[in-house]
């Protein structure tokens, strides 16, 4: 059952958000909650059917929404989708990088091209989107006034805080994403008044990540040593995103908020 939001409905009123991977999973829940809180939503993704159905659902909720096909690995797609978003809604305030690639594989079975593919999607894709969006997000950028810049939110993970089995590629990719978050927060915060933050979700129920990466057996075992004894919900991630994207988070820059119920630091009781 969906929880109601503790935020006022207008916390993102008038904002325009573009979300890569915003048509499914955690990305879609962020799209929905941003829309319910006043934002207009553009979604970028590779699969037309996913985009169409996400946009239809958002519109049925009264949320102004549009979908653009594109692959974050292609600079021309990034540029085109960002330009189309601005053409459609007049400006861009929030970029959410939620597109990610993943599969479980041991290092010895992972080809260098497989490794590169995930880094291309998660890390290079995030950089490319930020790079192409800068001219619209910066203070005084197209469609914005000269008093404030926009914000960037990068969806990360906690895998690389320690080490995670069969996730060498994703761990490396998300470590790079966290580093991008800090570097851009420093440089673009200073020069362009853009805030750049991340969210590192723990295990979230009902997502592709969980079904692909954590078979049944893991989710039941997890409960034995998870501090909060339960999986997170997509809603939990969306609420953290709302906090960071709204004025409530206006002094937060360069941080990646861990939303995992305390899981990454826990050890079995003995
Ligand atoms: C080993 C694999 C593989 C697998 C692909 N490769 N799948 N290697 N095991 N299961 C290798 C291929 O052999 C190939 O290398 C290279 O990766 C590229 O494969 P392609 O199939 O050509 O790539 P592509 O079609 O672009 O697909 C990208 C993908 C795909 C990442 C492989 O799975 C994908 O996009 N999935 C959808 C996105 C997704 O899963 N989202 C959920 C993210 S959850 P060679 O050498 O053979 O050419 C998430 C959570 C993280 O991110 C945190 C969890 C806690």
Q: How many Å lie between the centroid of ligand 1 and the Cα of residue 10?
A: 38
pLDDT tier at 228, thresholds 50, 70, 90? low
pLDDT at 227 over 80: no
Judge whether 191 and 140 are in contact, CB under 8 Å: no
Lowest-confidence pick of 106-115, 143-152, 160-169: 143-152
| C-alpha–C-alpha distance, residues 234 and 239, integer Å | 9
Measuring CA to CA, which residue among 202, 198, 245, 207 is closest to residue 35? 245
| C-alpha–C-alpha distance, residues 177 and 99, integer Å | 12
What per-residue confidence (pLDDT) applies to 2? 61
- Is the minimum distance from the CB of 200 to ligand 1 under 6 angstroms? no
| C-alpha–C-alpha distance, residues 76 and 91, integer Å | 19
For range 7-13, the mean pLDDT:
97
Task: Write the CA distances from 169 to 14, 93, 112, 166, 265, integer angstroms.
Answer: 38, 31, 9, 8, 21
For range 55-77, the mean pLDDT:
98
pLDDT at 219 over 80: no
User: Ligand 1: which atom is nearest the Cα of residue 114?
Assistant: 17
The interface predicted TM-score (ipTM) is 0.94
Which residues are CB-contacts of 37 (< 8 A; sequence separation ≥ 6)? Answer: 5, 7, 8, 9, 10, 11, 12, 13, 242, 246
Q: How many Å lie between the centroid of ligand 1 and the Cα of residue 115?
A: 9
What per-residue confidence (pLDDT) applies to 99? 98
Q: How many Å lie between the centroid of ligand 1 and the Cα of residue 173?
A: 13
pLDDT at 213 over 90: no
pLDDT tier at 97, thresholds 50, 70, 90? very high
- Is the minimum distance from the CB of 111 to ligand 1 under 6 angstroms? yes
What per-residue confidence (pLDDT) applies to 206? 81
pLDDT at 3 over 90: no
- Is the minimum distance from the CB of 161 to ligand 1 under 6 angstroms? no
pLDDT at 125 over 80: yes
pLDDT at 1 over 60: no
Tens of pLDDT along 236-258? 999 999 999 999 999 999 999 99
What pTM value is reported for the model?
Answer: 0.95
pLDDT at 120 over 70: yes
What per-residue confidence (pLDDT) applies to 146? 84
Between 193 and 211, name the one with better pLDDT: 193
């Amino acid at each position: 059952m969906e929880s109601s939001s503790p935020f006022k409905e207008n916390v993102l009123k008038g904002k325009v958000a573009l979300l890569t991977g915003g048509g499914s999973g955690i990305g879609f829940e962020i799209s929905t909650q941003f829309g319910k809180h006043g934002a207009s939503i553009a979604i970028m993704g590779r699969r037309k059917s996913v985009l169409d159905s996400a946009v239809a659902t958002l519109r049925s909720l009264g949320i102004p929404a549009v979908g653009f096909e594109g692959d974050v690995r292609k600079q021309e797609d990034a540029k085109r989708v960002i330009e189309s978003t601005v053409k459609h809604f007049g400006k861009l305030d929030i970029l959410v990088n939620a597109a990610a690639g993943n599969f479980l594989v041991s290092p010895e079975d992972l080809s260098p091209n497989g490794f590169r593919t995930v880094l291309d999607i998660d890390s290079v894709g995030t950089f490319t989107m930020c790079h192409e969006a800068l001219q619209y997000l910066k203070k005084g950028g197209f469609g914005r006034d000269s008093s404030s810049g926009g914000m960037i939110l990068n969806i990360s993970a906690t895998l690389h805080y320690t080490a995670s089995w069969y996730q060498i590629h994703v761990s490396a990719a998300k470590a790079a994403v966290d580093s991008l978050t800090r570097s851009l927060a420093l440089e673009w915060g200073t020069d362009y008044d853009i805030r750049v933050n991340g969210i590192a979700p723990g295990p979230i129920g009902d997502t592709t990540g969980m079904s692909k990466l954590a078979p049944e057996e893991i989710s039941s075992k997890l409960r034995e040593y998870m501090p909060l004894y339960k999986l997170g919900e997509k809603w939990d991630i969306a609420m953290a995103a709302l906090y960071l994207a709204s004025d409530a988070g206006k002094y937060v820059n360069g941080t990646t908020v861990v939303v995992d119920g305390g899981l990454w630091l826990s050890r079995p009781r003995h």
